[in-house]
Structure 1
Amino acid sequence: MVGDDGHPVYNPEAQAARDGLIETLCAMPPIMSALDALLEHFGHDNVSEVTGRTKRLITASDGRQKLESRSARTSQAEAAAFMAGKKRILVFSDAGGTGRSYHASLDAANQEQRVHLLLEPGWRADRAIQGLGRTHRTHQATTPLFRPVTTDCKGELRFTSTIARRLDSLGALTRGQRQTGGQGLFDPADNLESEYACAALLSWFDLLAAGKLASITLDDFQHRTGLELVDKDGVLKDEMPPIQRWLNRILALPIALQNSIFEEFLALIETRVSAAREAGRLDVGVETILVDKATLIDDIVLRTDPGTGATSHLLTIEIARRRTPVSLERILRIAESDASACFMVNAKSGKPALRTRARALMEEKEGTPIPRVELMRPTRNEYMREDDLFESSWAAVERDVFCDAWSHEVEAAREKVDSETVRLATGLLLPIWSALPSDHLAVNRIVDGEGRSWLGRLVFDDHVPQLFTKLGIDRSEALPASAVAKAVASGRSIDLSHPFPSTVKRSIVNGSPRIELVGCPADRLPWLKSIGCFTEIIQYRTRLFIPVGQVEAILERLLADPSQLAA
């Protein structure tokens, strides 16, 4: 408001509120930086600081603060004190990470396992890799644990995802595999600039324009971010803002609104990543399979290059590995820290699981959230939709019942050694890439306890005959009944040509898994039922099933006795 004399008119109440706010802010203690907070909490006598600071303010034993001068030689002494075990905590920055090693060297007195907390990584992946490499080197007693540190502000994922993307791309350039740069720190769903994230953003724009998002409206989003998403007719533009610009504009929004938008966006990403993972199309770079023992059983040369003499091989390797189950103490700590945790036991199998809330999926057309839960098992984790959980055999139990079941399964898992035979296509793979199965594109590295490793693509038993046929290799490879049963149990469909063309697959009938035999001749149903199969008429169609507990035995009779099919 402006008075008749042209001077502004002030509101005394607003002025008093402003002065009171300034007075309160000035009376509050300053927020410490992460470095000063660590020194204050643990004490400068327990923390080695290797940074580029020439002066720092420390608190003496009498509680008085004093200014301490530091030199390059001070940083050397601090690093030596950590490696000697005199100080158990080390804080170093870019300036303090050049030319030094902080790993658990076999030549150092301090050989404890390093827990490397990555705080404020910045924007340059090469510097982040340099910092991670200071604690992970050869000639070390133990490998470090890398733990990125973030707050609960969803917008901070913007910075972490940039480092994840650049670490992965730099690893692909330096070592030929994406996992090297990121050290396996990040899940594909954590990368907010991946192809799945870009596709999810387009779905988010469509839902925003249709008014199906609960976080914000189209007009409010355009007003707050300055992004123009629609033309003068109110239709979404063909050229939408790139995901980098969208992420940067999101950072300018209030924290609560940021979190709401990111929850919806991450749900769309998780939906796409989960679908790709279930279909076997998720590109995760090179996956390392650590085993206790690996024995090479067979080596078949698939192709020899006429120009260079390089060869492609199909290796048959028998691997054995012990499981490392989660201890009861650790799962109880997780349960105590999560208010949504619930102790569960499967009524059919008696197996325990800790149920926690997982990130929801989102229906892409209507924007409807699909709630999910995570079932933490002793040796693995499973994700399940809440609706499917209610229809399953999982039931909530008391803590004592859960603890007994968990301890029993942990003991059984530790005593059990899992052995299996895998086939690995290795060597010069590019010329034979099109002949390899297209439903499992992951590249794996098998590493045994002796340090030997094999790099290539896994080939399942049911794909071997087709691989030999495509490459023109005259070698018959009969698929045993045990291999067929194992492949079907894992969710794959197996086509059989003997004794008649048919398909064995896993089906869900009335919410229960079954093994189904599809494509059998109608006149062979009596013989198939005589060897143990059974039929059901579902929706006016006769379907043939194999009892789950007798799959291998029935398949052995089916594959080994073709004479019974004679008319």
Structure 2
Amino acid sequence: MRVFTDDTGTPRSMPMVDDNGHPVYNPEAQAARDALIEKLCAMPPIMSALDALLEHFGHDNVAEVTGRTKRLISASDGRQKLESRSARTSRADAAAFMAGNKRILVFSDAGGTGRSYHASLDAANQEQRVHLLLEPGWRADRAIQGLGRTHRTHQATTPLFRPVTTDCKGELRFTSTIARRLDSLGALTRGQRQTGGQGLFDPADNLESEYARAALLSWFDLLAMGKLTSVTLDDFQHRTGLELVDKDGVLKDEMPPIQRWLNRILALPIALQNTIFDEFLALIETRVSAAREAGRLDVGVETIMVDKATLIEDSVLRTDPLTGATSHLLTIEIARRRNPVSLDRILRIADGDGSAAFMINHKSGKVALRTRARALMEEKEGTPIPRVEMMRPTRSDYMREHDLFESSWEEVDRQAFSAIWSTEVEAARQIVESETVRLATGLLLPIWSALPSDHLAVNRIVDAEGRSWLGRLVFDDHVPQLYTKLGIDCAGALPVEAVAKAVTAGRTIDISRPFALTIRRSLVNGSPRIELAGAPHDRLPWLKSIGCFTEVIQYRTRVFVPMGSAEAVLGLLLA
């Protein structure tokens, strides 16, 4: 390149040519290019994933169902030969896998059309499928179609789906896109909030969710305040070309969208990518954990598998005047056995995690496997909050590291852990849990605002006979408020215990029998009370006769129900 100065005195460059107009090449650059080509040609080629699997396990053990017509295979003497393939060859490989003659199956979009590879009860190979999703692609419908190949009806076991990624955190960008499109596809094709991913991805995996967008704004704030350890503001702007601050050094009101930010992150060095993503994912996890604990996390449809479900009561909440569609509140009694994690599986998890440790609670005698969990982040200071996951036979708990040190948990040897874990698993399998749940189902959109706002999950209850009910769970203390909002008299529709529990929890209930009044919780002189607001003055003697008492507060007579005998008094009132 030739450097020259323009009319404004700014140095610029342009391609250099000789006197005849031919370009002049830099011999040092040419020599460096030739040396690089020579080095690359001397390095062994990187095999594709398909060829690497065939090379590692052998073509006699791997069934290939793809669209390619030729492939290189290694013979027994080590030499390679070119093998021609046809549709008949793919069918033979698929049949060999279903018969159990080949333990591994590799299939693609081109070779998997119209095929089923599930653990069919009619097939000889009924082993559990472990479906490794290696290349999900960009089309969510194709991803669902591929996942459905190994998950069908009339199967012996359900498959395990395992998305495969490298340790480059930037690859989460592509996994996140698949997660978002699977969720969107489920909402569009099913007309309900059941995600197309079927729970394959955690809400924290979707880097384009509302939690991720809020976390990105916090990341920008921490970056501007210089509280991130990964990168500085000036360095980040220089590397990515994103302008985050105005001429006065203040963060702009319109920040880059998360899609653009993610795309620019992919251009950074791998180590820097991973550090930035660790901070960003910690902020997302903080928000998702808070939403999950508060009951506001929308995870689509959660399927509750039970052994037995009995429909006890079906109450009609609303009937649409135009279509005649109805909304129902179902009372279902469910019974289910616990499905604890087996000892073999927990030991495999421990052996595959170098940071795992066997723990025992010296107070309760229970054991848990401690593994490292994704850290949280303090949003104001950007300080990471390390966490651990305590895996129990029937559940997993998350604890902050400093809370773990102050708890009763301590390390134990593998042999003692295995013995106690096996005992807990056997005890858990003998427990049959029975409970009564209420499910709002049917036409829910007109009554959506009347349903509880602090529990947004949509659930499907499925019993062993294949019967299912889809709707939103409604807890006991929410039922009176639901009836009140819909104008339904709850005096005869609800048990007295539910009314008392709801009022004690702070719900307000309007009744019309034996006369119109409002049952609510009030605070008098710092102590909670149950008040009957709006009671007629001529019914005060009767209310006192069933156990109520009155007080004149600020020249107004107020009627209260004794807290100790609330259920008995409310029972007489609603009777």
Larger radius of gyration: 2
Contact 2:481 2:507 in 1 (8 A): no
1:133-532 → structure 2 map (5 Å cutoff): 133-476=148-491, 477-480=494-497, 493=505, 501=521, 519-520=527-528
* One-letter amino acid of the structure 1 residue matched with residue 488 of structure 2: I
* One-letter amino acid of the structure 1 residue matched with residue 108 of structure 2: S
Tell me what 2:136 maps to: 121
Contact 2:332 2:437 in 1 (8 A): yes
Contact 2:507 2:521 in 1 (8 A): yes
Q: What SS does structure 2 have at the residue aligned with 1:182? A: coil
Q: Distance in 2 between matches of 1:194 and 1:466?
A: 31
Contact 1:168 1:181 in 2 (8 A): yes
Q: Distance in 1 between matches of 2:295 and 2:272?
A: 35
Deviation at 1:333, TM superposition (A): 2.2
**Are 1:46 and 2:94 matched, yes or no?**
no
Tell me what 1:57 maps to: 72
Q: What SS does structure 1 have at the residue aligned with 2:436? A: strand
* One-letter amino acid of the structure 1 residue matched with residue 323 of structure 2: T
Alignment deviations for residues 510-539 of structure 1 (CA, whole Å, 9 cap, x no partner): xxxxxxxx8347xxxxxxxxxxxxxxxxxx
Q: Distance in 2 between matches of 1:46 and 1:154?
A: 33
* One-letter amino acid of the structure 1 residue matched with residue 239 of structure 2: R
Q: What SS does structure 1 have at the residue aligned with 2:196? A: helix
Q: Would the alpha carbon gap of residues 469 and 282 (structure 1) be closer, same or farther in structure 2, given more than 3 Å must change? A: same
* One-letter amino acid of the structure 2 residue matched with residue 460 of structure 1: F
Alignment deviations for residues 163-203 of structure 1 (CA, whole Å, 9 cap, x no partner): 11111111111112344411210011000111111111111
Identical aligned residues as a percent: 83
Deviation at 1:10, TM superposition (A): 7.8
Deviation at 1:141, TM superposition (A): 3.3
Deviation at 1:20, TM superposition (A): 7.6
Deviation at 1:295, TM superposition (A): 0.8
Q: Distance in 1 between matches of 2:294 and 2:312?
A: 30
Q: Would the alpha carbon gap of residues 371 and 483 (structure 1) be closer, same or farther in structure 2, given more than 3 Å must change? A: farther
Alignment deviations for residues 225-246 of structure 1 (CA, whole Å, 9 cap, x no partner): 1212122222222222111111
Q: Once structures 1 and 2 are overlaid, which stretch shifts more, 46-55 or 327-336?
A: 327-336
Q: Distance in 1 between matches of 2:474 and 2:51?
A: 54
Tell me what 2:549 maps to: none
Q: Distance in 2 between matches of 1:556 and 1:338?
A: 53
* One-letter amino acid of the structure 1 residue matched with residue 113 of structure 2: T
Q: Would the alpha carbon gap of residues 41 and 312 (structure 1) be closer, same or farther in structure 2, given more than 3 Å must change? A: same
Contact 2:497 2:567 in 1 (8 A): no
Q: Distance in 1 between matches of 2:308 and 2:212?
A: 39
Q: Distance in 1 between matches of 2:289 and 2:121?
A: 42
Q: Which runs of 5+ in 2 are unaligned?
A: 3-17, 19-23, 510-517, 530-561, 571-575
Tell me what 1:513 maps to: none
Deviation at 1:387, TM superposition (A): 2.5
| Residue 96 (structure 2) aligned to one of 58, 62, 81 | 81
Contact 2:341 2:425 in 1 (8 A): yes
Q: Distance in 2 between matches of 1:167 and 1:436?
A: 27
* One-letter amino acid of the structure 2 residue matched with residue 42 of structure 1: F
Q: Which runs of 5+ in 1 are unaligned?
A: 504-517, 522-554
Q: Distance in 1 between matches of 2:563 and 2:362?
A: 32
Deviation at 1:413, TM superposition (A): 0.3
Q: What SS does structure 1 have at the residue aligned with 2:150? A: coil
Q: Distance in 2 between matches of 1:400 and 1:483?
A: 50
* One-letter amino acid of the structure 2 residue matched with residue 356 of structure 1: T
Contact 2:63 2:97 in 1 (8 A): yes
Contact 2:75 2:81 in 1 (8 A): yes
Q: Distance in 1 between matches of 2:361 and 2:508?
A: 34
Q: What SS does structure 1 have at the residue aligned with 2:158? A: coil
Q: Distance in 1 between matches of 2:443 and 2:394?
A: 35
Contact 1:347 1:395 in 2 (8 A): yes
Contact 2:330 2:441 in 1 (8 A): yes
Tell me what 2:12 maps to: none
1:556-567 → structure 2 map (5 Å cutoff): 558-560=565-567
Alignment deviations for residues 301-344 of structure 1 (CA, whole Å, 9 cap, x no partner): 22222332222211111111111111222222222222222222
Q: How many residues align?
A: 506
Deviation at 1:465, TM superposition (A): 1.8
Q: What SS does structure 1 have at the residue aligned with 2:251? A: coil
Q: What SS does structure 2 have at the residue aligned with 1:233? A: coil
Alignment deviations for residues 338-365 of structure 1 (CA, whole Å, 9 cap, x no partner): 2222222223322211111111111112
Q: Would the alpha carbon gap of residues 481 and 239 (structure 1) be closer, same or farther in structure 2, given more than 3 Å must change? A: closer
Contact 1:496 1:502 in 2 (8 A): no
Alignment deviations for residues 440-491 of structure 1 (CA, whole Å, 9 cap, x no partner): 111111000000011111111111222222222223234539995xx99xxx
Contact 1:97 1:130 in 2 (8 A): no
TM-score, normalised with respect to structure 2: 0.81
Q: Would the alpha carbon gap of residues 401 and 217 (structure 1) be closer, same or farther in structure 2, given more than 3 Å must change? A: same
Q: Once structures 1 and 2 are overlaid, which stretch shifts more, 363-372 or 72-81?
A: 72-81
Contact 2:506 2:520 in 1 (8 A): no
* One-letter amino acid of the structure 2 residue matched with residue 436 of structure 1: L
Contact 2:282 2:375 in 1 (8 A): yes
Q: Would the alpha carbon gap of residues 149 and 479 (structure 1) be closer, same or farther in structure 2, given more than 3 Å must change? A: farther
* One-letter amino acid of the structure 1 residue matched with residue 314 of structure 2: D
Deviation at 1:70, TM superposition (A): 1.7
* One-letter amino acid of the structure 2 residue matched with residue 56 of structure 1: R
Q: What SS does structure 2 have at the residue aligned with 1:104? A: coil
Q: Distance in 2 between matches of 1:375 and 1:345?
A: 10
Q: What SS does structure 2 have at the residue aligned with 1:134? A: helix
Tell me what 1:529 maps to: none
Q: Once structures 1 and 2 are overlaid, which stretch shifts more, 381-390 or 203-212?
A: 381-390
Contact 1:324 1:414 in 2 (8 A): yes
Deviation at 1:66, TM superposition (A): 0.7
Alignment deviations for residues 259-315 of structure 1 (CA, whole Å, 9 cap, x no partner): 000000000111111111111111111111111110111111222223322222111
Q: Distance in 1 between matches of 2:166 and 2:81?
A: 31
Q: What SS does structure 1 have at the residue aligned with 2:389? A: strand
Task: Output the aligned Cα RMSD.
Answer: 3.1
